[in-house]
């Protein structure tokens, strides 16, 4: 795999789920290497495994996390967007 990035729109009823994700975010620098693979350098970011539709992607970082906003649905839920990037250079 040379490159993997994804963005997910999320909704949670528990604000602490959002803050747990926010604790994993750091300053991230993404570089495309000459061989086409993606190298990630981070200060304070946490590497982890991302599971999407039953498929596990290792060496992933949170690239961006939007501010959580209270939905206008009056259901007491928080909406946010999260983007992931995989370090394929390892």
Q: Quick one: pLDDT at residue 2?
A: 87
Q: What is the pLDDT of residue 24?
A: 96
Helices (H), 1-90: 15-22
pLDDT of residue 76: 76
**Could you give the count of Cα atoms lying within 13 Å of 56 in the half-sphere of its Cβ?**
4
DSSP 8-class letter at 30: E
What mean pLDDT is reported for the chain? 92
Q: Is 49 exposed, middle or buried (0-12, 13-18, 19+ CB in 10 A)?
A: exposed
Residue 73 has pLDDT above 70, yes or no: no
Question: Domain range spanning residue 64?
Answer: 5-86
Helix (H) or strand (E) holding 66: none
Report the percentage of the chain scoring pLDDT > 90.
Answer: 78
pLDDT of residue 77: 86
Residue 39: the pLDDT is 96
Yes or no: say if 3 and 35 are a contact pair by the CB < 8 Å rule.
no
Predicted local distance difference test score (pLDDT) of residue 59: 97
> How many structural domains is the chain composed of?
1
DSSP secondary structure code for residue 36 in this structure: S
How confident is the model over 2-21, as pLDDT tens digits? 889 999 999 998 889 999 99
């Amino acid at each position: 795999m040379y490159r993997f990035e994804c963005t997910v729109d999320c909704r949670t009823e528990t604000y602490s789920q959002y803050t747990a994700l926010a604790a994993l975010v750091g300053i991230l620098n993404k570089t495309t290497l000459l061989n086409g693979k993606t190298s990630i350098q981070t200060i304070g970011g946490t590497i982890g495994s991302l599971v999407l539709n039953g498929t596990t992607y290792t060496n992933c970082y949170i690239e961006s996390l939007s501010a959580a906003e209270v939905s206008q649905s009056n259901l007491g839920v928080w909406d946010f967007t999260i983007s992931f990037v995989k370090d394929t250079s390892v």
